[in-house]
Every structure is written in C-alpha cells, then in structure tokens.
Chains A and B, each alone.
Chain A
Amino acid sequence: MGVGILVEDLNAWYGTTHTLQDINLHIPANHATALIGPSGCGKSTFVRCLNRMHETNPIARATGIVKMGDIDIYNDASPVEIRRRVGMVFQRPNPFPTMSIYDNVVSGLKLNGFRNRRILDETVERSLKQAALWEEVKDDLKKKSGASLSGGQQQRMCIARALAVDPEVLLMDEPASALDPVSTSKIEDLIFQLKSQYTIVIVTHNMQQAARVAENTGFFLNGKMVEFDSTHKIFTNPRDKRTEDYITGRFG
C-alpha cells in the first residue's frame, strides 16, 4: 500500500536559478497524480525532490518540508533510505546493459544484499506481470540482456525494476515520451492498474495522458504550481486563466 505525500514550502535551485518556488501540495495515497506544464516549468525538478534525486547534482539544492507518510524525508532519513521506498521511472528507458532481464529486475534487491533465490524468482515474475511484460520475456529471462529489448519493453522492464523493491510511492518522469503510441497505451494501462496499490506521481507533456490516468492534476508554470485540483475540474473548469490557456492549447 502506498502513502500520501505532503509538500510544504518546497523551494529548489539549480545554481542561482530558482526552479521551484513555494510549492504546497498534498498528494493522496493510492491514487495517480499527474503534473503538467510546459518544458522547463519545474515539474521534473519537483518529482526529483520527492526522492531526493535532485541533490545528486552538485549545484542543486532544495529547502522545505516533504512528508511521506510520517517521515520527513529531508530531516528524518538519508537519501538512500528514502530511495529504497520510492521507485522512479525515467524519461528514457535506462536498463543495465550488462545484466540479463532477470538481473535487471532484481537489481534493487540484489544490491541491498537480498539473496533468497525463491523470493527473487517470485519477485521477478510478480513485477514483470505487473509491468505487463512477463508473457513477452518469460522464456529468456536469463538469456537476453536488458538492452536487447525494444524501447517500449525496456521501459516496462524499468517499471518492473522499480516495482521489484515493493515501493510505497512510484515516481514517473515522462515515462512514455520516448515511446510509440502502442507502448504508450500499454504503460497507461499499467498505471491505471497499479494506482490502487501505489501512490503514483506522473509527469507528462501529454494532457490527454494526464486526463486518462490521473485522479488529480497539478499545473506548473515557471517554477510555480498554478493550480492543483481533480483532473476533471482542471480540464473542464479550471480556476486560473493560465491553466485554461494551457489546456486549450493557447501556449506551451
């Protein structure tokens, strides 16, 4: 089961650029939340702040409070502990090319020293089924390299890799933007099924995608969150003029 995320006064910088300004937001547990907005508006930075990946860049820093369940992730825990509980899927599929499909999926468990073969086998099957990839790869799990799959399959394998550690939150940074329409719809179906068990935050350029998969949607512009509401409200009756301009395609 997932946990909710509470964000209070989150600010983030890259060098001297103030990329996120005073973000306040409640992301409910076991729902999918979409973040939309034009390029460079800060939505990727925002999700990277949720698992403290933002600070892996030496010139980046962040202030504010992010609570995941009961834990204040910036004060109560180390980044490593947080990232074990938060899965992340990136814009471009990034499989480990030197590992088999099997090893790719369980890499998160293996690097933490998990060695029980039976549970590893079960985890591979479970997470590949969750990622709707099991049928396509079950015969050459250990024979084929993770990089030998097609782009869409690689991305689903990366989702399986993130799910294998049984995270409470799943962050997806434009997970389908590098994929063809068929793979994209598979990934959307996946998000639809997964959101009952995980808290999902998905960044997307594609407004239809947000409308299809998410209950709630936040609109980001120039480092600020302009509006956050139920997806239905955002797309039919937004409060803010800028949101309306964006979703009707007047800019962005």
Chain B
Amino acid sequence: MSSTRMTPERESSSPLPVPSPLPQPPVASAADATPASVGAALSPIRDFLSKRGSGSFADNSFAAVMLLCACSIFAIVLFIFVILVVHSRLSLIQFGWKFFTRQAWDPVSGDFGALPFIYGTLATSLLALCMAVPLALGVAIFLTELCPRVLRAPISFLTELLAAIPSVVYGLWAVFVLVPLMRDLIGPFLYKILGWTGFFEGTNFGVGLLTASMILAIMILPIISSLTRDIMNAVPNSQREAVLALGATRWEMIRIGVLRNSRIGIVGAIMLGLGRALGETMAVTMVIGNHPDISKSLFAPGYTLASVIANEFSEATGDLYLSALIEIGLALFLVTIVVNAIARLMVWAVTRNAPARVN
C-alpha cells in the first residue's frame, strides 16, 4: 500500500541507480515484508523516526504521574481535615455542634464557643472586600484601558510590590499609622456622618473591626487588581472595537466590551482575595483589639479565628483549651469551604444562561 507512494520519493532522494521502474516491485515488496531492513535504504531521518517506539509507555506513565499529583491535593485536604477532627475531639465531644454557635470563651472555667471568632472573621473579610474591590477594579481599569503607556509598567510594578510586603510589616504600619488616624480623624468623621446607622458607636480606641478591615483591604488589593488586570488584558481587542463601532463612549466600551466579558474571572480574583482575607493572621491580630465580642459597632474590638489561634496557642493550658483552639482551626477550614462554595454558586447562577467564551 504505502510502497507505491514511497517509490518515486526514494528515487529522487537517494542516488541509487534505478534504471527503470521494472526492477522496483521486488524491492518494494521486500520492504513490506521486513520494514526494519528497509530502514537502511531510507534517508537518515526516516531511519531515525522508524526506530522510535510508539511512546505508549512514556505516555501512560506520564498520565499516571499526573494523576498522582492531582490525587495528592485530595489527600492533603483530607489529611488536614482528619487531623483537625482528631485533635479537637475533646472539645467536639464536650460541646458538639453547638460549639459553632456559642458565644462563650472562658479558658478559666473551660467554657468555649466559636461564634464571636466566626463573626469577626466574616465581618472583617467582607468589609475588606467592600473597600478593596472597587479600588482594585479602578486600578485594573485604569491600567488596561486608560493609562498612558509610559505609566503602565511603574504602576503595575508598585501594585505587585504591595503584595510582596510581609504581613507583619503591614501590622506595624497599621499600629503606628492607621490606628492613630482611625482614632483621631477617620473615626470621629464617620461618627459624625454615619453615626445614626448605629455602626459607629461606642468608644473609639482606634483598634477594632474597622481598622482590621482597612488593613486587610490594603493587603488584598494587589492580588485582586493584578489578576483583574490580566483578565481584562486577555479580552480580545475585537470586542472593544465592536462596542466602539456602535457609538459607545469609553465608559460604555469598558462596561460592555471589557467588564462584562471578564466578569467570571473577576469573581475568581475576588474569591482569591477573600481567601487571603479569611486566613490573614498577623496584621489583623495587631489591630483588631483581640476581644471575643459580637458588636454591631465597627469601632468595637473583635477577634478572628486565625488571630485567636495565633495569640493563645502557645499559652493554652489544659487539654480542653487546646482542643477548643484546634476546633477553631476546624471552624476556619469550614468557613473557607462554605464561603468558596457560595461564591461558586453565585458564579453559576449568573452564568448558567450565557456561556462565557470569548472568541
């Protein structure tokens, strides 16, 4: 079959003296019978390629190794979960599911509950998102759509530099700059303008939920804005031109041609920021006031799941206390999973009717 196609090419590529087409058929049929022996008569490239195996062994082992890598993720998550459950069994047995809804935190009498910490974690993270998302979107829109070319690199670099600062340095900065600012300037101003809402009441010490949220917002700003920028850069120019050609202003072009096409990616970026905010420990611990209260006022000190573990783990006396702290870790684990699940659900609800593919 292939021998007939091979013949004329061999004629042209090899200097073998083949006087007429007549002697060829026996040579070709010999090629069919023993393909390996023909290799010598072929060009060196054909010879080389014909000796290569099918590669099925390499392919299959590659797939197996990749499968192992993927499974390791499940294994690690499961392992962490099991360890958390095992080490918190004392507290699990003592308080049961009620642990997550109890407000008490009294190491002396051995009475523990996670609700104030869950509240503190969720409140600071969501507030931080409210502050960081508009700012991050603004930065990303400016960088991709409006920024003069010369400024693009420096501003991008600075935003990414923010992400590289260790969180304890943010904490220090917050203690020395943000706390006094909050106490003397921002706090009184908010009280004057929005005091009637009841969110800004009580004594304002400068440390509390709002300060912690602000430092969190600054910390998650770079990740959200740089991811959003990359996503918006990936929107093809043809989409922008399509909107502009319909007579859109620049803002309408950004809204319809860019933001609408990248909304799923932007939600993903926000989720990554939220993930960081939920787990952030050091900077928050330094400015949140560390008091397990649930208060409507954002000036009030609070406590987060991560902070209480960091603060009290080294001084936890007694097995129940330690076990309760580990169950706090379990609570953080579950809160993160639930928040991410809700976010997925939101994305699904928004996009189930319209595919997100941009071509």
Contacts and interface: CB of A to CB of B under 8 A. Distances in A.
Interface in B44-82: none
B238 A53 contact: no
Nearest to B148: A58
A42 interface: no
Contacts of B16: none
A162 B354 contact: no
Interface in B344-359: 353-359
B248 A80 contact: yes
B47 to A, nearest CB: 42
Given A94-B238, A100-B354, A83 B260 contact: no
A92 B238 contact: yes
Contact of B355 (A58, A85, A111, A145): A145
Interface string B328-358: 0000000000000000000000000111111
A248 interface: no
A111 B252 contact: yes
B261 A97 contact: yes
Contacts of A58: 149
A162 B356 contact: no
B357 A147 contact: yes
Contacts of A83: 244-248
B258 to A, nearest CB: 11
* A: interface residue count bin: 20 to 34
Contacts of B106: none
B355 A148 contact: yes
Main SS at interface, chain A: mixed
Contacts of A88: 245
B355 A96 contact: no
B242 A98 contact: no
B242 A84 contact: no
Interface string A195-226: 00000000000000000000000000000000
A156 interface: no
A112 interface: yes
Interface residues of B, number: 27
Contacts of B245: 51, 53, 83, 86-88, 90, 162
A191 interface: no
A162 B241 CA distance: 12
B309 interface: no
Interface in B231-251: 236, 238-249
A158 interface: yes
Given A94-B241, A98-B263, A111-B252, A161 B246 contact: yes
A108 interface: yes
A111 B243 contact: yes
Given A111-B252, A145-B355, A94 B246 contact: no
Interface string B110-121: 000000000000
**Which one of A53, A147, A165 has the highest number of Cβ atoms from chain B below 10 Å of its Cβ?**
A147
Interface string B240-284: 111111111100100011001101000000000000000000000
A190 interface: no
A107 B247 CA distance: 10
A53 B260 contact: no
Contacts of A97: 261, 354-359
A81 interface: yes
A107 B252 CA distance: 11
A7 interface: no
A116 interface: no
A141 to B, nearest CB: 13
Given A97-B357, A147-B355, A148-B355, A111 B260 contact: no
**Which one of B241, B246, B256, B257 has the highest number of Cβ atoms from chain A below 10 Å of its Cβ?**
B246
Contacts of B257: 96
Nearest to B252: A111
B256 A80 contact: no
A80 B246 CA distance: 8
A86 to B, nearest CB: 8
A95 B240 CA distance: 11
Contacts of B244: 53, 56, 83
A99 interface: yes
A107 B238 contact: no
A172 B279 CA distance: 54
14 contacts: A58-B149, A83-B248, A94-B238, A95-B242, A96-B257, A97-B356, A98-B356, A107-B246, A107-B256, A108-B247, A145-B354, A147-B357, A147-B358, A162-B245
Given A56-B240, A96-B243, 9 more contacts: A80-B247, A81-B247, A82-B247, A90-B238, A97-B359, A99-B354, A111-B247, A111-B252, A145-B354
Interface of B: 149, 236, 238-249, 252, 256-257, 260-261, 263, 353-359
In the complex, the 9 A-B pairs of residues with the closest C-beta atoms, listed nearest first: A84-B247, A108-B246, A88-B245, A94-B238, A83-B247, A94-B242, A98-B354, A111-B252, A145-B355
